[in-house]
Each structure stands twice: as structure tokens, then as C-alpha cells.
Amino acid sequence: MRMRKKKNLEPRLERCEDVTILNPQEMRSHWREIMPEAEKINLEIGCGKGRFITTLAAQNPQNLYVAIEREKGAIVMAMEKVKTQNLANVRFIVGDAAELLDYFADDEIDDLYVNFCDPWTKRHREKRRLTHRNFLALYRHIMRPTGHFYFKTDNVELFDFSELEIPDYGMKILTITRDLHSTDIPNIMTEYEERFSSQGMKINYIEAMFPQE
């Protein structure tokens, strides 16, 4: 579902240009130049309003975080959170996950997060799911062999699909649960997650890695 157009959206985006990568294709192979001392360069696909990425970045100032989001109305709020909190280790891309290979070189990303993406439940839309093997192939290119893939969703159909697709593609599932909040797995709740878990909906979670070669 698309968000309503935010008031003064373009001026707000312009005020956040210092945390925005306007030409991400030019950053390919050069992300470490933003923060040479970074222990890791981690990526969130679909950052929404930014609670997850800003909390994670604040807790881990030693890492650089890159967040991708298509919806300008959502990402501008994430950008504003970063500026309000004076976080120097977060950058944003207004873009699409399908373009990842244009944005990142091989082995440039450590850990990758996908939280509450569109489940694409209509027939013949499976290839748009961010856990479809076409996207997993992109992740494998840009992630280091030691990187971890983290996935959360409240959608049972998407999780059923992902639970099969991820190992079928050759990834090793390290952790899996259909009730994340009942476990002691460390977790940062997104805005969406907090709202729906408060209504009794269970959160599904997978942590996985690509095979070592």
C-alpha cells in the first residue's frame, strides 16, 4: 500500500541530502570511503520510517549502515530521524532492490536485513518477493561470505515460501522461529512490528548464511 504524499516532501528531502546518496551507482566499490574505519558495512532493504536502522546504528557506531527504500514519504522520516539523532554512520538510497548490483560491488556488504517487505500474495507475483531466489542471487553477489541474512515478516504465506526458498537456494538457516517475541533472540522492533504484534500477531524470523566456498 502506497503512503499518502507527505506535505513539503521535496524540501524535506533536500534538507536531508547530506545523508542521502543521490547517485548510488557512483558509490559502487567506494562505500568504505564514507567510513574507512567501519568494522562492517550493513544494508537494510525497505527501511520504512527508519526506527530499525536508526536504533541499530546508534547501538553499533563502529559499523556503517546503508538503507534502501522506494517510498519517499517513508524514507524522508527515516532520514530526519538520523539527522535529529546526529548519527554519522547511516546513509540512504531512494531506490529499488532490483538495482542492487548497480549500487554495490561483489563482497561489499556484510550483513543484510529485510523487515516486513511486501508479501506479494497475488498469483504469479512470487518473483517480486525479496526472498525469491532471484533476489537471493543478488544478495549473494554483494554480501561477503561471512555475512548474515536476517528476515522478519508477519505474513504466514510469505514465511512459508521463504522457509523453503532460502534453503532450496543453498543457504544455511541458522535460526528460525514463527514466534520471535517469545524467544530471547535480540530484536529491534520496527514501527510496523510494534503495531501488529500488539494486536497479537506473531512475528516470523529467519537468520541465514550463504555457503562458504
* Catalytic annotation, residues: 118
C-alpha cell at 87: 548519527
Q: How far apart are CA 168 and CA 62, in angstroms?
A: 34
Residue 205: CB partners within 8 Å, gap ≥ 6?
150, 151, 152, 175, 176, 177, 180, 185, 187
Phi-psi region of 18 (alpha: psi -120 to 50; beta: other; left: phi over 0): alpha
